[in-house]
Structure formats: C-alpha cells, structure tokens
C-alpha cells in the first residue's frame, strides 16, 4: 500500500468512527427536548439549580438548597404570602394570640394526611415541637436561633406546646416574641410525620415524610432529587404537576445552556448579565425574585482609621452606588440606603442617603486628620451571591472611587470559608458581604447583623452601640406593630449616623424558565412552593 | 511475579500513610471552622462550640490523626461532617460516576491519540503530521471550561444532538444497580436508555479526553520515530513485510512502553482531577464531591476522598508496571 493511499484510507476510517460516535445520538434527540417530549402524559418539571441539598429533614439544615426541596414535601403551620412575608393560613386554619402576646391558640386543618398515611393532628404538632426542643444547636440549628434556645434554656421563648383537642394546639411563651408567627412560617419549622421520624431515626433526612404537595421519590446525590405528586394533598386541585426533579448544575453558564437546550424547564441563579439573552429568546421567560437582601461594604470599626465615624461617613460619600448597580447588577437592583430592604415593615424611607460626593468625602477625611488619605485592605468576595453577583468587579469599582478621594485600597480575596472566618475575626479593614432574610422581619436584619450581641458572628464590623442595642431588644418583644416599627426606624437613624456599613444594593435575584411554565412565583425567601405551578 | 506484586503492595503502605498525614495537616492548616460552616451564618456561639466538641475538633491534632488512622485500619473512612453519613456509604455513586467517565475518556484518548501518533511518525513531515501536531499542541493548552461550554453551545443548543449536562435523561431515570450507568442499562436490557447514557458521556468524555489525547499522540509519535529508525524495522521491511504490518506489529510493540506509562499517569489524573469537567457538565463525580467538601471543611470526606483517589492512582501505576512485562518479554519481575 502506498503512503498516500494509506493516509486517505485512514482518514476515511477516522471520519467513519467519528460519525458513528455522533450518529448514535442523532436518531432520538427529541426525547431530551424537555418540554415537547415530557408533557404529553406526565407533567414533569425539571428545576436546575447551583447545588445539591444537604439533608431533606428541614429542621436539621440551614442551607437554601435543602429548603427549596423540603418546602414542597412539607407544610408549615402558617405560610408566607405568595410573594411576600405576610402571614397566611397553612396547616393551621386560624389562630388567636392573647392580649399579652404570651399565648397563641391554633385551630388546625382537619382531614390532612401525611405521605405515610398517618393523620395530621394536634398530637403531631406537639411531637414535632417536643423533638426540636429536646435537641441542641448541632441537631436543629435554626430552632435555637429563632426561638432563643432549647428545653430549659433561659432564652428559650416557647414554654409549652399543648394539644387541647384533636385539632387545637396552644403555645405558651415565656415572653412575647414579635416575629413568632413569621418564625413558624419558616421552612425549617415544617411539620414532619412523627411516625416516620421515629421509624427512620437518623436517616429521616434521606426519607422525608410530610404533608406537602409532593412526596419524596429518589435522591441521586449531587445530581437529582425527584419528588412526585401526592394524590391526597389537602388543598383541592393541587399540585398541578406530576413530578418535579431538582437537578444540580453548579456552573451558571452550563445551567443556562441546559435551559436553552430544553433539558431543564426552570433555572435558578441566572446572572444579571445573562438576563438579556433570556429576554431576547421567544421560548423563555425571566422571573424576578422579590428582593429581600442587602449587599454591603462593611468597615471593621475596631481597626484604624475606621474607628472614626467621620472616616466611615467619608467612605459612604466616596462610593458611587448607582454606578455600581448599573454596571454589575445590570440595573436589576435598588440602591440601598438602609441595612433592611424596603419591603420589610419598619423600613425608614425618610433617611437621606449619603450622596455621592468625593468633595464631601475629602472634607470629612480632612476633618478626621487624614487629608493625605491612607492605605487599607479591601476584601472582595470570592463567590457570586444573589446580593453580590461579582464581588471582584464591585471591589474594583470601589477601589477606584476610594482612590479618587486619596484612599489607597488594596484588593484581597480568599477562599469563601477562609474569607468569612477572617472577616468574623475582625481581620479585614473593609469587606464586601451581604445577607438574605429568613423570615422577612426587621429583627432578622438589624439585630442579627448590627447588634453588639452578634459581634464576632454575624456582626462582622464589630460595631457596638448601647442605645441601638436597647432599641433592638425592646423591639423583639414589642407586640404593637406601630410601636415596633417606630423603634426600628429610630434604630436605622442611629445606624445611618454611625455608618458601620456602606449599604450598596438590594438586588433582585433572577430565574428563567421555558415559556410553558405557568404560575411560577418566585418567593423572596428563596424557597419556592411549586404546588400551583403547571406546564402548558 | 506474585512476589513482585506482594512487594509492591507492601510498598504502598508507607506511601498512603504519608499521604494521609500530608493531607491531614494541610486541610487543618487552612483557616475556616467546619462547625461554623455546617451550622451556617445564623448559628450561635454555643451551638458551634457544642458541635466542635462533638466532632472531636477540640482534641489536639495528633489525637485526631490517630483516631482517624485507627478508623482506617478497621475500614472506617469516617463520617461526613455535613451529611452525617459514613463516607464508605456515600462515596460509591460518586466514584462510579467518575470511573465511568474517565474510562470513556481514556478510551477515546488512547484510540485516537495512539493512532494519530503512529500515522504522524509514519508520515513524518507530511501535512497530516503537521496538522495532527498542531491540533495536539492546541489540545494540551486548551482551557477545558471554554471547550466544554463551546461544545455545549454547538452540539446541544445549535445542533440539538447531544445533552449539555448530567448522566441521564431525568425524565426516564436509570435504575441504579452498579452505579455504572452503561452497565446498568445493559443489565436492564434497555437500549434506548443505553443510547441516552452514551450520549451524555460524549461531551464530558471528549472534553476530558482532549488533553490526554494530545499528550498520548505526541508521546507515541516521538517514541515511534525513534523505533522506526532502528535496524530491525529496516530488516523487516527488506524481508518484504508490508509497511502497515511493520508499523502496527513490530514498531508499535517496541515503542509502546513510554506511551503506557503516560496512559497510566493520565488515567490517574483523570480520576482525581476532573473537577472542572464535572462542574461544567454537572457530573456527580468524586472530584466535585471532594471539592465541595473542601468548601465545607468536611475533613473526613476530604481525607478519605483523596485517600481513595490516591489508592486508585497507585494501583493503576502498578497495573501499568505489570503490563510492561506483557508487552516486552525482556522485562522480568522478581
């Protein structure tokens, strides 16, 4: 065989092999083509997201990816509104708080069944609360942080939970807790089947049983979680879908690709820069999650020169927030002036934000004796979060703003867990961070992030103010809504004046889905109930 | 031969022991508290303290290390701090996913890489040689994430012939028996599913194969070039054997040893280092398992995950060493 001839032959062979390789795939490609193929008989919705769940026992976890699933397997006593955090009936059809705010009587829905066939009743509610109260911070972390402790702990707000009838439960509190109902509506406090909890023991997180619209089918770790329609769901006509599959696709671009190719019906974590692609595509629609977050620049007040409020105010004047929102949130955020987003009651809209003015910043720096500026380290977040889609770029913009007023900021970044630890240790001069609310209550922002009690944990700035602390503690047990809101308004004024943060933005997290997805309403807490969602 | 294998296996012990020690020390040297990460930002000080005590993180490092070793001897790889599941119980699906993908990739890399290398050497300085080596050069320097996303765009979105991500059509899930989906669908006799599973392997498989393929091609070429100049090739030719026969039978056999070494190393690298590919293609493999464990400071998973990967790596090397003897009878083990 001549050289030439062989070369030609082998090339032909290569061509043949490669066509065979791709050929085996082209015949039945439509079955992957999501919407068209799947919806004929069974309505299956595939929800693409960034990560897998940790456990499907809602009380045992703190991560949003777990709640996204458990929200659909379990129900809570009371629910949040469709797209807000107003309280609505859930497993409890009505409730009456006592005058002093110390007793709550709940009337429960009748005829509700758990997925294992057992009945939901007052006894089941009591058993759930008993289980949680007997735990500790390691087992049931959210219980302790929302209800102040466990069992006989002094801070533990719930004194007793009693069944006073088959379908009536009475909660007695040690002291009034203003956000009590909002706490009960949170995903971790969903009611599990006591029988199933007992049977499954430690593996309940792999075999969750609730009363929710969907029951658990299968979990392929780091890949998919499948839940299917619960035929005996107590809400008439729900759920509409036969099956929901949660798929973990960690890379944002790959997830978008999967949506574009029709392999998934709904995609979480759409970056603002991809919003244009979605809006320009006739087969897709964009969903906005109502904002309940804040992204901010924190300044560690124990570190010089940030111990001087004038310097912190100067930084507030120096940063052009609008430009940051326009450039890196693609306008899909609101410029923040307070630590809490405007949707939360108690928001103080009368506060006038520090205007963007390098001159004023320079004046304040001069007053602080720093007319020549200073050197500092600026921590840039290494991971994208809804409240901060691109920490690195935001940091660069801030760096430029600060340079304009003579402050020389060096940008540093660390791997995420390291970043949080260093910031919590007060090692950062200034750092980018943010927060997404759990229950839509002002306490969950102001007390959690800026009170002296939380220095070293969530109060990364080490900011302490006794007057603020008194207000926040008072607000925690104030049952009169108006008085309470007033307390929070005062608190925001103090924070504005002391300026431990530069509040940057309240972003609108984005999701995208196929045009055939109907009735999807993204919830501000980040976990969406899919009971009324349908596929066309 | 058996004696040799036995000795090699014994030699593994200090290697793996040293490795556990290094990994143990490194992950504890990086800042970040597992208790804090597990309990989240909301957690109270007391809860974190309690969890630290419970996880044994309060003990001095050497006690933690010896506890870990003690567990290893009894086959206990520890329990994931995050999911509270023993690593032994949860690691298999990840490992199976990675092995399946790596095997698929290495088969592509070997078949195409070796043949391209041979033809390049055979027709040295021909247009094929130049083209193949340019492609190989691009291949070794190709950023995987870019290649992966481009392939998704071309083959999934534009052409619509291949799925972008995942292992299976989730509307028609595979019943897991062994964890190797190709095998599972064969056992179930479902050829429709088998074809779907194979399709899912194509994009991540080719992305993963790109670099090893290029390295294997270059190695084969240079090794073949050397052998082709030797006397026995000329003798074989002068005896009247066809060139094809000479190249694929005589020359290849003599040139294959360094290529085998490279294949072994690449296979090992694929098993442990496919994090990027697994992330872009949503592949639930062991690379992502370990990588995510690092983010959560899930010490037992990191330690045991790396130990498993390292063990496979050294085993592959042992197999490659034994293969030398099969290919070249002059190599004796004693």
Residue B315: phi and psi, rounded to 5, are: -65, -40
Per-residue pLDDT reduced to its tens digit, B318-330: 888 888 888 887 8
pLDDT at B159 > cutoff 50: yes
- Look at residues A378, A379, A424 and name the one whose alpha carbon lies nearest to residue A402: A378
pLDDT at B47: 75
* CB interface of A with B, residues 142-181, below 8 Å: 142, 144-145
B333 within a domain of the structure (yes/no): no
The answer as to whether B84 is a domain residue is no
Cα B18 to the center of its chain, rounded Å? 21
What mean pLDDT is reported for chain A? 90
Q: Which residues in B lie closer than 8 A to residue A448 (C-beta atoms)?
A: 42
A96 touches chain B (CB under 8 A): no
Query: What residues of chain A lie within 8 A of the CB of B111, using their CB?
Result: 17
The domain containing residue B8 runs over which residues? 1-74
Is B310's pLDDT higher than 50? Answer: yes
B96, part of any domain: yes
Give the residue with greater pLDDT, A321 vs A21: A321
With contacts defined as CB-CB under 8 Å, which chain B residues touch A145?
42-44, 47
What does the pLDDT read at residue B324?
Answer: 84
Closest CA relative to residue A343, chosen from A276, A385, A288 = A288
> Is B196 close to A32, i.e. CB distance below 8 A?
yes
Least confident of A43-47, A303-307, A321-325, B251-255: B251-255
| C-alpha to C-alpha distances, A460 to A294, A383, A454, nearest whole angstrom | 14, 18, 8
The answer to whether residue A398 scores a pLDDT higher than 80 is yes
Chain A, residues 109-138, CB within 8 A of chain B, namely 136-138
Q: Do residue B46 and residue A422 have CB atoms under 8 angstroms apart?
A: no
Q: Is the pLDDT of residue A204 over 90?
A: yes
Share of chain B above pLDDT 90, in %: 35
pLDDT tens readout for residues B49-108: 877 887 778 888 888 888 888 888 888 888 888 888 888 888 999 999 999 999 999 999
- What's the whole-model pTM score? 0.86
pLDDT tens digits along A494-513: 999 999 999 999 999 999 99
Instruction: Quickly list DSSP for B246-287.
Output: IIIIIIHHHHHHHHHHHHHHHHHHHHH--HHHHHHTT---HH
Same domain, B107 and B50: no
Does a structural domain hold residue B162?
yes
Q: CB contact, 8 Å: B182 with chain A?
A: no
Residues B113 and B55 in one domain: no
In a domain, B25, yes or no: yes
pLDDT by residue (tens digit) across A323-382?
A: 999 999 988 999 999 999 998 989 999 999 999 999 999 999 999 999 899 999 999 998
Residue A147's Cβ-side half-sphere holds a number of Cα atoms within 13 Å equal to 35
Q: Shortest Cα distance from A249 to chain B (angstroms)?
A: 5
Boundary of a domain, candidates B21, B39, B74: B74
The band of A34, judged by pLDDT with boundaries at 50, 70 and 90, is very low
Q: Does B299 touch chain A (CB under 8 A)?
A: no
Q: Tell me what the mean pLDDT of segment A56-61 comes to.
A: 92
Q: Which of B26, B29, B30, B32 is best to mutate for the A interface (most A CBs within 10 A)?
A: B32
A88's enclosing H/E stretch is: strand A87-89
Pair of tokens at residue B70: 């003690």
CA neighbor of B133 nearest in space, from B150, B146, B149, B117 = B117
If asked whether residues B184 and B248 sit together in one domain, one would say: yes
Q: Which of B281, B296, B297 sits opposite A254 (nearest CB)?
A: B281
Indicate if B100 and B235 belong to the same structural domain: yes
**Per-residue confidence (pLDDT) for residue B296, from 0 to 100:** 82
What are the pLDDT digits (tens) for B271-294? 865 888 999 999 999 999 998 888
Question: Same domain, yes or no, for B199 and B305?
Answer: yes
The CATH number given to whatever domain includes residue B183 is 1.10.3720.10
**Which among B74, B105, B138 is the end of a domain?**
B74
Q: Report residue B173: phi and psi, to 5°.
A: -65, 150
Listed residue (B75, B107, B103) closest to B91, CA to CA? B75
Residues with Cβ within 8 Å of A363's Cβ and at least 6 positions away in sequence, in order, are: none
**B83 vs A14, A25, A54: nearest CB:** A54
- Whether residue A305 has a cis bond before it, omega within 30° of 0: yes
For residues B55 and B189, membership in a common domain is answered with no
Q: Is residue B27 part of a domain?
A: yes
Q: Residue B201: pLDDT above 80?
A: yes
Q: A36: which residues sit within 8 A by CB, 6+ positions away?
A: A30, A262
Q: How confident is the model at residue A27 (pLDDT cuts 50, 70, 90)?
A: very low
Nearest by Cα to A513 from A240, A214, A269: A269
Q: Are residues B38 and B142 in the same domain?
A: no
Judged against a pLDDT cut of 70, whether residue A6 lies above it is answered with: no
Tell me the average pLDDT of chain B.
87
Distance between CA B11 and CA B8 in Å, rounded?
5
The total domain count for chain B is: 2
Q: A433 touching B, CB under 8 A? A: no
In angstroms, the separation between the Cα of residue A165 and the nearest Cα of chain B is 35
**What gap in Å lies between CA B295 and CA B284, rounded to an integer?**
16
Q: Is the pLDDT of residue A17 over 60?
A: no
Do B47 and B183 belong to one domain? no
- pLDDT interval class at B42 (50, 70, 90): low
| Same domain for B165 and B290 | yes
Residues B59, B109: one domain? no
**CA distance linking residue A86 with residue A292, whole number of Å:** 13
Looking at the structure, do residues B61 and B96 belong to the same domain, yes or no? Answer: no
Q: Residue range A393-418: average pLDDT? A: 93
pLDDT tier for residue A24 given thresholds of 50, 70 and 90: very low
pLDDT in tens, A228-276: 999 999 999 999 999 999 999 988 899 999 999 999 999 999 998 899 9
* For residue A39, pLDDT beyond 50: no
> Do residue B70 and residue B104 come from a single domain?
no
The last residue of one of the domains, among B74, B103, B131, is B74
Query: What one-character-per-residue DSSP string does A320-344 give?
Result: -HHHHHHHHSTT-EEE-SSSS-TTS
Asked whether residue B86 is domain-assigned, the answer is no
Residue B80 lies in a domain: no
Q: Is the CB of B241 inside 8 Å of chain A's CB atoms?
A: no
Which residue on chain B is closest to A63 by alpha carbon? B40
Residue A45, SS3 per DSSP: strand
Task: Residue A6: list chain B partners with CB under 8 A.
Answer: 122, 243-244
User: How confident is the model over B37-60, as a mean pLDDT?
Assistant: 76
Say if residue A277's pLDDT is above 80. Answer: yes
Structure confidence at residue A346 (pLDDT): 92
């Amino acid at each position: 065989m001549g050289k030439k001839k062989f070369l030609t032959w082998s090339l032909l062979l290569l061509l043949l092999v490669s066509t065979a390789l791709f050929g085996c795939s082209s015949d039945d490609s439509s079955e992957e083509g999501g919407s068209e193929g799947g919806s004929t008989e069974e309505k299956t919705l595939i929800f693409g997201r960034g990560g897998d769940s940790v456990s499907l026992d809602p009380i045992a976890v703190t991560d949003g990816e777990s709640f996204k699933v458990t929200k659909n397997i379990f129900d809570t006593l009371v629910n949040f509104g469709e797209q807000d955090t107003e309280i609505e009936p859930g497993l409890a059809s009505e409730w009456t708080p006592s005058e002093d705010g110390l007793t709550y009587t709940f009337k429960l829905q009748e005829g509700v069944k758990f997925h294992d066939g057992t009945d939901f009743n007052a006894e089941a509610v009591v058993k759930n609360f008993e289980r949680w109260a007997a735990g500790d911070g390691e087992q049931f972390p959210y219980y302790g942080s929302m209800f102040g402790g466990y069992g006989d702990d002094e801070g533990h707000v719930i004194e007793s939970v009693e069944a006073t009838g088959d379908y009536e439960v009475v909660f007695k509190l040690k002291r009034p807790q203003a956000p009590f109902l909002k706490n009960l509506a949170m995903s971790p406090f969903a009611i599990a089947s006591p029988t199933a909890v007992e049977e499954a023991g430690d593996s309940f997180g792999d075999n969750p049983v609730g009363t929710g619209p969907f029951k658990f089918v299968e979990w392929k770790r780091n890949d998919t979680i499948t839940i299917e329609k619960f035929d005996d769901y107590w809400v008439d006509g729900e759920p509409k879908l036969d099956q929901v599959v949660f798929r973990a696709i960690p890379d944002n671009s790959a997830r978008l690709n999967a949506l574009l190719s029709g392999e998934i019906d709904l995609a979480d974590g759409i970056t603002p820069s991809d919003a244009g692609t979605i809006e320009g595509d006739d087969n897709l629609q964009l969903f906005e999650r109502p904002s309940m977050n804040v992204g901010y620049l924190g300044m560690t007040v124990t570190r010089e020169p940030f111990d001087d409020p004038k310097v912190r105010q100067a930084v507030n004047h120096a940063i052009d927030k609008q430009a940051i929102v326009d450039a890196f949130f693609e306008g899909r955020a609101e410029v923040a002036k307070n630590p809490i987003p405007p949707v939360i009651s108690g928001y103080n809209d009368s506060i006038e934000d520090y205007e963007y003015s390098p001159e004023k910043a320079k004046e304040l720096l001069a007053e602080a004796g720093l007319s020549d500026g200073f050197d500092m380290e600026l921590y840039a977040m290494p991971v994208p979060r809804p409240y901060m889609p691109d920490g690195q770029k935001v940091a660069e913009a801030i760096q430029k703003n600060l340079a304009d007023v003579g402050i020389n900021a060096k940008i540093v970044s660390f791997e995420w867990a390291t970043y949080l630890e260093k910031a919590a240790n007060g090692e950062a001069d200034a750092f980018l961070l943010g927060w997404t609310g759990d229950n839509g209550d002002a306490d969950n922002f102001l007390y959690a992030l800026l009170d002296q009690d939380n220095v070293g944990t969530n109060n990364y700035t080490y900011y302490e103010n006794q007057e603020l602390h008194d207000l926040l503690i008072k607000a925690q047990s104030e049952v009169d809504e108006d008085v309470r809101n007033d307390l929070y308004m005062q608190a925001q004024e103090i924070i504005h004046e002391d300026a431990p943060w530069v509040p940057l933005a309240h972003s609108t997290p984005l999701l995208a889905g196929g045009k055939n997805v109907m009735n999807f309403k993204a919830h501000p807490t980040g976990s969406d109930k899919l009971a009324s969602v349908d596929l066309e | 031969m058996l004696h040799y294998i036995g000795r090699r296996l014994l030699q593994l012990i200090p290697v793996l022991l040293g490795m556990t020690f290094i990994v143990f020390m490194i992950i504890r040297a990086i800042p970040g508290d597992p208790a804090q990460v597990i309990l989240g930002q909301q957690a109270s000080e007391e809860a974190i303290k309690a969890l630290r005590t419970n996880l044994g993180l309060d003990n001095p490092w050497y006690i933690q290390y010896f506890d870990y070793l003690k567990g290893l001897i009894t086959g206990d790889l520890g329990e994931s701090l995050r999911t509270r599941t023993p690593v032994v119980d949860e690691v298999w699906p990840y490992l199976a996913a990675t092995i399946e993908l790596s095997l698929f990739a290495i088969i592509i890399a070997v078949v195409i890489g070796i043949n391209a290398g041979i033809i390049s050497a055979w027709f040295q300085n021909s247009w094929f040689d130049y083209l193949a080596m340019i492609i190989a050069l691009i291949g070794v320097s190709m950023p995987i994430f870019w290649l992966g996303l481009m392939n998704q765009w071309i083959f999934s979105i534009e052409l619509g012939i291949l799925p972008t991500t995942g292992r299976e059509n989730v509307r028609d899930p595979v019943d897991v028996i062994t964890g190797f989906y190709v095998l599972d669908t064969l056992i179930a006799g479902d050829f429709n599913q088998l074809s779907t599973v194979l399709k899912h392997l194509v994009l991540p498989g080719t992305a993963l194969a790109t670099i090893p393929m290029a390295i294997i091609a270059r190695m084969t070429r240079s090794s073949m070039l050397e052998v082709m100049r030797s006397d026995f090739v000329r003798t074989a030719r002068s005896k009247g054997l066809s060139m094809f026969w000479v190249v694929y039978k005589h020359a290849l056999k003599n040139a294959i040893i360094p290529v085998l070494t490279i294949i072994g190393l690449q296979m090992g690298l694929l098993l442990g280092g496919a994090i990027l590919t697994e992330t872009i293609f949503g592949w639930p493999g062991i690379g992502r398992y370990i990588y995510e464990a690092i983010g959560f400071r899930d010490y037992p998973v990191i330690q045991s995950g790396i130990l498993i990967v390292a063990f496979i790596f050294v085993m592959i090397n042992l197999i490659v060493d034994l293969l030398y003897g099969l290919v070249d009878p002059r190599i004796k083990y004693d």
